[in-house]
A and B are shown apart, each in its own frame.
Chain A
Amino acid sequence: MTTPDPRELHGFGVGRGAAVGPVARAHPAPHVAQDLPAPLDLEAAKAAAEASFAAVGKGLQARADEAAGTLAEVLGATALMAKDPALLAQVRTRIDGGAAAVVAVDRAITEFSDMFLAAGGYLAERVTDLRSVRDRVVAHLEGLPEPGVPTLSRPSVVVADDLAPADTAALELDKVLAIVIEHGGPTGHTAIIAGQLGIPCVVRVIGATSLQDGVEVAVDAATGTVVVGPDDDVRQRVEARRTALAALEQDTAPGATADGHAVALLANIGTAEDAERIADVAVEGVGLFRTEVLFLGRTSAPTEDEQAEVYARVLTALGGRKVVIRTLDAGADKPLAFVTQAGEENPALGVRGFRLVRTAEDLLRTQLAAIGRAAAQTGQEPWVMAPMVATVDEAAQFAAIARDCGVRTVGVMVEVPSAALRARDVVQEVDFVSLGTNDLAQYTMATDRLRGELVDLLDPWQPAVLDLVAITARAGAEGGTPVGVCGESAADPVMALVLTGMGVTSLSMSPAAVAGVRFALGRHSLETCQRIAEAATAGRTATESRAAALELVDPQVREVLALG
């Protein structure tokens, strides 16, 4: 179908995907008539409302139990809302005051929603969950089918006012081409879960709910557009992007440039569950296993036994692939009850990371011993590195302790500018180094990573940060020491080319980013990567550096990955 003047709707895109297909509208919420008469039997009405809340809470919890990761957490939180004692008390009070059960439910939840909306921000985005509880409870009370996404008879673009987590859990993934919602935010549940599932998604699309069932739309998450009745040109572009993205998801080859220069593509993980989840994913291993999760939220350190069990699970899940374990990166802004020093005025510059060895060497030795046991038990050889190393002395000290504890391959993170500037000496002490670009940017630019309003200063394309990365990569190449990158930079396909050109030997990122980086690498020779790196470091500003690098990127890669 071609229309001469395609209508275009705009919103915020999530991910890079694109798709064309017919609209499938999600079932609207049941309407609550506000003028219903008071219940004849107040006790019966209260019991019915309580039973419906319980049934909805149970149903949501059951879905949470079947789901994994973020989705499970989100569904569990929604189930908790359906069982909330304060909410139930309000519903009972309203029924006692003469409201029909559905009206009582509607008003009690609206009151909470209004409070959340007034608070704004994070709370306002949770209103979707509250409304989904209301819709489900009202439907249950009235004997209606659960509101939400219909059963799809053909691949479709799901369009809704917003989708509750329970709705996204019920999606038939093989038939959902894309998701378009009128409300919700880029950090709302629908966006987070669509991103996790790799479904193209556009949120906050004004006019989305005016789209009729069956109308063809082209959805482009990279640009945040929804074209109604797309013409042949739009269809072709979307189709080309979709096919290319699908094809590159199929590519499982080890990372390499077009001329065969190997660059290992690795995943960042935080738990044994993460490791088990990527067991079937085409990554060459784990470039950063953050061990903090084991320690946080506890009043005493996990024992050597407990730690060894978790490390062994990770090593087993990866079955012989490379695993880089980072020792505890806590203290300061990630406080631990049993080690953190109270009252640090500049926690990011305080006793954190490897510096904890000054006050709690036992903690490090126990962790290294646990890693050693897990290695022996699984027959694997994990690489082990320390965070927040600033000097060659610290690098040497960590290497000595780690080797003393039986670790064979020892490294340090380069995330403090002093370590980058003196990388030439640091690489002499260890078997590998890994650049933590997020913290390196924070310390180079003297900018708190948690300050959103300073995000421009934290741009990994800042030339000063690029210079430090280049110095480290060069030192590694000269000394024959592998230099990895395990910060956000590695996930950006253009930056990945720059890093490769500088001589970085492995890139570790969130598993979802690997396919794009693999594709970009495979389309450029090492020599082109080197020219891209030179162009980037020649920039005077972050914007200039990225633009200069992008200029040299293959046009097809720019188009498929929507790099601009």
Chain B
Amino acid sequence: MPHRTVAVASRVGLHARPAALFSQAAAASGLPVTIAHGDRPPVDASSVLMVMTLGAKHGAEVTIAAEGDGADEVLDRLAELLETDLDAPEQS
């Protein structure tokens, strides 16, 4: 199955806004996408609740996988999202 392993760039980790943006993007892809962190089994990437329970912190490596038409493009897009700091800065 096509997959990508990337480090979470968001400073808060894969929580809150970054988790919501990622799960929405996964859901919008139309393909079943999974995400895994550590040695636990992969979870549904379109579920913000499951994504949050991964507890992936800033810099943590996660593996996303998808199958079907255009899986590679979808994974590239989602990987790029994970490699971006999705949390807007609040400090001066």
Contact = CB atoms under 8 A, between A and B. Distances in A.
Contacts of B43: 86
A84 B50 CA distance: 9
Nearest to A287: B92
Contacts of B86: 297
Nearest to A115: B53
Interface string B76-92: 00001001111011111
Contacts of B60: none
A123 B50 CA distance: 12
Nearest to A486: B92
A188 interface: no
Contacts of A487: 92
A290 B89 contact: yes
B47 A268 contact: no
A8 interface: no
Interface string A399-443: 000000000000000000000000000000000000010110000
A86 B89 contact: no
Interface string B1-45: 000000001011001110010011001000000000000000110
Contacts of A449: 91
B75 to A, nearest CB: 16
Q: Chain B interface: which size bin?
A: 20 to 34
B16 A112 contact: no
B90 to A, nearest CB: 8
B88 A296 contact: yes
Contact of B92 (A84, A123, A126, A436): A436
A57 B55 CA distance: 24
A86 B49 contact: yes
Contact of B52 (A76, A126, A268): A126
A334 B12 CA distance: 12
A376 B8 CA distance: 41
A87 B20 CA distance: 15
A85 B44 contact: yes
B71 interface: no
A85 B55 contact: no
B62 interface: no
B49 A337 contact: no
Contacts of A122: 12, 15-16
A448 B44 CA distance: 36
Nearest to B81: A297
B48 interface: yes
Most chain A beta-carbon contacts within 10 A, residue among B16, B80, B91: B91
Nearest to B26: A85
A80 B16 contact: no
Contacts of A467: none
Contact of B24 (A80, A81, A268, A288): A80
Given A85-B46, A86-B47, A268 B85 contact: no
Contact of A85 (B9, B27, B91): B27
B20 A76 contact: yes
A293 B89 contact: yes
A73 B17 contact: yes
Given A123-B15, A123-B53, A80 B48 contact: yes
Interface string A243-287: 000000000000000000000000010100000000000000000
A305 interface: no
Given A84-B48, A290-B92, A296-B89, A337 B83 contact: yes
B52 A123 contact: yes
Most chain A beta-carbon contacts within 10 A, residue among B46, B49, B52: B49
Interface string A92-126: 00000000000000000000100110010011001
A325 B36 CA distance: 42
A334 B20 contact: no
B16 A337 contact: no
Contacts of B49: 81, 84, 86-87, 112, 130
Contacts of A297: 84-86, 88
Contacts of A333: 11
Contacts of A115: 53
Nearest to A449: B91
Interface of A: 73, 76-77, 80-81, 84-87, 112, 115-116, 119, 122-123, 126, 130, 268, 270, 288, 290, 292-293, 296-299, 333-335, 337, 436, 438-439, 449-450, 486-488
Given A122-B12, A436-B92, 14 more contacts: A80-B48, A85-B46, A85-B47, A119-B55, A122-B15, A122-B16, A123-B15, A123-B55, A288-B92, A290-B89, A296-B85, A296-B88, A337-B84, A438-B92
